[in-house]
Structure 1
Amino acid sequence: MRVLGMISGTSHDGIDVAVVDFRLEDGVLRGVIEHTGSTPYAPALRERLVRMLPPARFDMADVCALDTLIGQAFAEAAAAAVGDAGGADLVCSHGQTVFHWVDGGQVLGTLQLGQPAWIAERTGLPVVADVRTRDVAAGGQGAPLVAMMDALLLAGRPGRPAALNLGGIANLTVPLPAGALAFDTGPANALIDAAAVRATGGRLAYDEGGRLAAAGRVDETLLARLLAEPYFDLAPPKTTGKELFNAAYLDQALAAGPEPAHEDVVATVTALTARTVAAQVHRHGVDEVIAAGGGCANPALMALLRQELRGVRLSTSDALGVPADAKEAIAFAMLGWQTAHGLPTNVPSATGAAGGRILGAIVPGTGPLRLPEPLPEPLRTPPTALRLEQPVRRPAETGESEGGSPAAYPRV
């Protein structure tokens, strides 16, 4: 089955896509990555989206319009990806998270926009969407959903490896004998992007090449103030987002004391990401970190991570056949494959859900909805490992990757 996975992450910069041809052999899910790419949001759409993000308030007309506009953008990106890959059987669209309703550490609801009917209408393919809500309904955090892919990719590696994603938010997956531990460690690019916008008066939406951070010095007083955030001390399962770590959050932290130079603010929030990630890596006895996400293209962030992770091997997911800037799109392609085959995709030990659940709702395509025959009873469990063949490198000019870092940057 060839599945197109699609997502726009917490950096809200564009739509990442991946077409993967999956087959199951002796409990191992094998995939050929046939296409990856990224389509930046149109400037007007991104501006409208960012303007509506927390803590902003908006009405239902805004929600309806954004659901339609994002859905249409996803539909065009899907049609292009299917054409470039020479076809697909199914689409799995994460859409764009605009709100994660958390109260007292418990997730009560989650909202992703990008109406999947536009994708089904444009491509004629069935679409799996609304993939987080079922886990929330089962008492889970609704995130991180990449935990199963991470655990399968890391299966059989020596020591205690972990997978790290550096998107707008950083999340860590640590496979353990009792089940994978996976949670958001805190901000990755979220506050770095906010600081870059502040430093350049909006001229830059992110710290291009980590140059602003490299030009500044870490302000230890500000860093200590940021590290006092209660979220960092919460025990997993836990999840966070731009509902907490946003531009207003940074403004509040800066207002509590003398404001450092702009470049020093960028350097400090970059150090915050490295420090909070490393704290969790050391806390859980991890000896190898395999990173992915747009943050991998920020040399300043990666240098600080290496400094904080002394004694821990650090590499990117490219070593496992997974392009660092397309990993989440590949993960949602896998999620779509599992949903189509009636297999649970959440990891209860990671999200806190009452049990494994088949995720998502399915929008039929042009013709009758035809799902695969159920797997034979011995195989009616999630795969035990995932192996991906070397993907075709996407062209540098396709745009920006998750986290706002151009794909043209050399991987660190």
Structure 2
Amino acid sequence: MRVIGLMSGTSHDAIDAGAVDLTLEDDCLRLTPLGVISRAYDEGLRAALTAALPPASTTLADVCVLDTRIGRAFAEAATEADRELCDGRAELIASHGQTVYHWVADGQVHGTLQIGQPAWIAEATGLPVVADFRPRDVAAGGQGAPLVSLVDQLWLRGRPGTPVALNLGGIANITAPDGTAFDTGPANALIDAAVRELTPQGRTQGLAYDRDGAIAARGTVDGDLLARLLAEPYYALPAPKTTGKELFHAAYLRAALAQHRSSAPVAPEDVVATLTRLTAVTVADALRSVGATEVVASGGGIRNPTLLAMLRAELGAGVPVRGSDALGLAPAAKEAYAFAVLGFLTAHGLPGTAPASTGARHASVLGSLTPGRAGLRLPGAADGVRAPTRLVVDGH
């Protein structure tokens, strides 16, 4: 089955559309990557989305407009991916949508909201769309994240030692072979906020991230500020746990800097260096907690050589950190590919969660279906299909 996975993460800067060909052979799910396209949100849409995200207030009118505009943007990306990557022969769209709120209180997730109305995707492509993946796991008592943990476990199964999948998006998350999975804290979220708000490049030139880790490389880590940031209670919570920009946002950073006691203000490049070290330390702590012997990394953060150097230094030479492309999945496409797999599982009536990863009471078939032009027909639905126990990427 040819499936297109659509994903926009916590950095909310672009839509990734990853196309795959998936074949279920007994207990083995075989994945052939067909490619990925990435389309940035237009500046007006991204600005409107940023303005509506916590801790800002918004209106239902704003949510409605964003749901429609993001749905249309996802539809354009899906249409292009079908044409350019699938020769117009895609059979299913799996859309994660754009997370705008994850309702967490006292360590429990009570609700989650992803927008990007799937009806626009179904109308534009004519294909059935599986969307709203996270709420079913939340309804079953789970964290609703990280949902890709099931795919990571299938993919890394059989590798020696303790291989751990790491995603460095706005928020960082890990998945261990035993199913332990959780958000470790910020990956790029606070770094991006510092670049936008504190650096000349961000304020005057619109730079939204630390390109190639250049700003952090020029800075010096402020030990006192780092210690203050590491005192965040989230890091001490037990797994499973999830977080997002509801906690780690620009106002959080401004408050930390305002509380920081120093003989002089911290230079912008030193703030960026300190936040980069914060990500490296908290990720390394999480990886050590699950006994990682190998790290397979994906997400935008792996394009930051300063962050990767700090992470490798924290872990030591005995724990290699390699990109997911070494195992056949392009780092920029891996999350989109993973949601394509989850959509495939839903189309076959198979669970898409690992309760050990999310803390749910049971595994669930995920998502809600928006029919395509052919009506309420799922291309993979069949009785007696067995859930896969491993994922093999062609050529690896």
TM bucket normalised to smaller: over 0.9
Post-superposition shift, 1:373?
A: 5.9
1:280 and 2:283 correspond: no
* % same residue: 60
The match for 1:298 is: 304
Structure 1 residue runs without a partner (length 5+): 392-412
Matches within 5 A, 1:173-212: 173-176=175-178, 180-198=179-197, 199-200=199-200, 201-202=202-203, 203-212=206-215
1:348–1:341 distance in 2 versus 1, CA, 3 Å: same
Secondary structure in structure 2 of the residue aligned to 1:102: strand
1:312 and 2:327 correspond: no
1:390–1:266 distance in 2 versus 1, CA, 3 Å: farther
1:329 and 2:336 correspond: yes
C-alpha contact (below 8 Å) 1:153/1:320 kept by paired residues:
no
1:147 and 2:149 correspond: yes
The match for 1:233 is: 236
The match for 1:394 is: none
Secondary structure in structure 1 of the residue aligned to 2:362: coil
The match for 1:164 is: 166
C-alpha contact (below 8 Å) 2:91/2:379 kept by paired residues:
no
Name the amino acid aligned to 1:233.
A
The match for 2:349 is: 342
C-alpha contact (below 8 Å) 2:122/2:370 kept by paired residues:
yes
1:102-157 CA deviation, whole Å, 9 max, x = no partner? Answer: 01110000000100000000000000001100000000000000001100111000
C-alpha contact (below 8 Å) 1:33/1:390 kept by paired residues:
no
Partners of 1:183 and 1:263 in 2: CA distance: 29
329-338 or 31-40, which moves further after superposition? 31-40
The match for 2:224 is: 221
1:214-258 CA deviation, whole Å, 9 max, x = no partner? Answer: 010000000000000000000000000000000000000000123
The match for 1:108 is: 110
The match for 2:98 is: 96
C-alpha contact (below 8 Å) 2:347/2:381 kept by paired residues:
no
Post-superposition shift, 1:34?
A: 1.1
Partners of 1:372 and 1:26 in 2: CA distance: 18
Partners of 2:279 and 2:30 in 1: CA distance: 33
Partners of 1:143 and 1:55 in 2: CA distance: 21
Post-superposition shift, 1:372?
A: 4.3
C-alpha contact (below 8 Å) 2:2/2:92 kept by paired residues:
yes
C-alpha contact (below 8 Å) 2:49/2:66 kept by paired residues:
yes
1:43 and 2:50 correspond: no
1:22-80 CA deviation, whole Å, 9 max, x = no partner? Answer: 00113110011112110000011001111111100011000000000000000001100
1:321-355 CA deviation, whole Å, 9 max, x = no partner? Answer: 00011100000000000000000001100101110
Partners of 1:364 and 1:223 in 2: CA distance: 50
- What TM-score results when the alignment is normalised by the length of structure 1? 0.92
1:371 and 2:370 correspond: no
Post-superposition shift, 1:388?
A: 1.5
- RMSD value over aligned CA atoms? 1.2
C-alpha contact (below 8 Å) 1:126/1:362 kept by paired residues:
yes
- What TM-score results when the alignment is normalised by the length of structure 2? 0.96
C-alpha contact (below 8 Å) 1:10/1:168 kept by paired residues:
yes
1:134 and 2:122 correspond: no
Runs (4 or more) in structure 1 with deviation over 3 Å come to: 372-377
Partners of 2:328 and 2:240 in 1: CA distance: 28
105-114 or 26-35, which moves further after superposition? 26-35
Post-superposition shift, 1:390?
A: 5.4
1:174–1:260 distance in 2 versus 1, CA, 3 Å: same
- Alignment partner of 1:250 out of 245, 249, 253: 253
The match for 1:271 is: 277
The match for 2:393 is: 388
Matches within 5 A, 1:27-106: 27-85=27-85, 86=87, 87-106=89-108
Structure 2 residue runs without a partner (length 5+): none
Partners of 1:96 and 1:48 in 2: CA distance: 13
Q: How many residues align?
A: 386
